[in-house]
Each structure stands twice: as C-alpha cells, then as structure tokens.
Amino acid sequence: MLRPILRYGADALHAVAKPVDNFGTDLQTLIDDMIETMYAAPGVGLAAPQVGVALRVFVADPSSGQSTSELRVLVNPEIVQQEGAQREEEGCLSLPGFTARVARSTQLVLRGLDRDGTPVQLEAEGLQARVFQHEVDHLDGTIFVNRLQGIKRDLIVRRVRKLQRAGKW
C-alpha cells in the first residue's frame, strides 16, 4: 500500500525515531509499504519517519529499482565507521523540488538488523554511502537542509514557507 510522504515542516520529520523491538506483522507490512512507496515516488531511499512512523527503519535502493539486488532494508541502523569526503547534489522525497550540494562521507560501515531481526553489517561507498547517511539522518530527525548553511539553507526554507502560506505545500 502506498503511504503518504510527509513534507518538510511536519513535526514527525524533526523527531528522533525509536528503536524497533517487535519484528512482527506490523513491521513487515510497514517495510513492504515503504518499499512500494519509495519506488512509486520515485526515490532511492525512504525512512519510516517520512511516512509518519517514528521507528528506526529505512529502505534504500540506489539503483531506483533498476537492480533489485541493491534493495536494502535496515532496522535500528548505526554508522560505525566513516571515511573520506564527498560533496554532491542531494534531494529528498520530503522536500520535493529542492536540491543542494551536501557534504557526506565517501565510505562507511553500517550495522543494524535486517527485516527479520538478523544482525547485518554493510559496507558502502559513493552513492550508496550517501543514501545510507541521508536515511540515518531522517531517523535522527535531520533533513538534508539542516546540514546546509548560509544563503542556500535560508533560500530553501523561505521558499517552503512561501509555498506553505500559499497552501501549495
């Protein structure tokens, strides 16, 4: 089932998500819905808070569905190692129509659980590392615009507020 994606400004996007401790049917349904929603959007990642669920879960597929072997589901993820630096253009399904260059690590190691609760450790680089960092940020209540400074951040925030006032957000 497709779920509505919350937009920048929604309180749920700015709160720290809670760890998952129940891997039952509700979680499995959430994950399936998130995958369907991410691909329909279309996007390369989606975190549970973006669909209004305050749990530490994200789905990601840097290939945008071109290679289903790249689909990853991570529950209770934590970044345990980061290296390098990249500064690339980034967007967000919760901030449609806006992009900016965001600094991220080029390589990382991520630990968490798969959808069944089995421990996993993933190594990522390049775009996949960027996507994982972006989604972990969502679980911590951070949106990419929060990582920007100065005029670029102010410009995006002002444009969103203007759209909100006009009832178009």
The predicted-structure confidence for 104-145, as pLDDT tens digits, reads as follows 999 999 999 999 999 999 999 999 999 999 999 999 999 999
Compute the distance between CA of residue 35 and CA of residue 47 in angstroms, rounded to an integer: 10
Compute the distance between CA of residue 61 and CA of residue 44 in angstroms, rounded to an integer: 5
pLDDT tens-digit series, residues 45-55: 999 999 999 99
Q: Say which CATH architecture domain 11-165 belongs to.
A: Alpha-Beta Complex (3.90)
Q: Is the pLDDT of residue 68 over 80?
A: no
How much is the mean pLDDT over the chain? 96
Structural domain boundaries of the chain? 11-165
Q: Which residues contact 84 (CB under 8 A, 6 or more apart)?
A: 105, 106, 107
Tokens of 161: 């507020």
Cis peptide before 42 (omega within 30 of 0): yes
Compute the distance between CA of residue 134 and CA of residue 61 in angstroms, rounded to an integer: 13
Tokens of 56: 């530490």
Does 135 qualify as catalytic in the annotation? yes
Q: Is 52 left (phi over 0), alpha (psi -120 to 50) or beta?
A: left
Compute the distance between CA of residue 105 and CA of residue 86 in angstroms, rounded to an integer: 6
Q: Is the pLDDT of residue 15 over 90?
A: yes
CA 162, 164, 166, 169 dihedral sign is positive
0.75 exceeded by pTM: yes
CB 10 within 8 A of CB 56: no
pLDDT tier at 67, thresholds 50, 70, 90: confident
Cα–Cα–Cα angle for 98, 91, 55, nearest 5°? 120
pLDDT tier at 62, thresholds 50, 70, 90: very high
Catalytic position from the list 70, 78, 125, 135: 135
Neighbours of 70 (CB within 10 A): 16
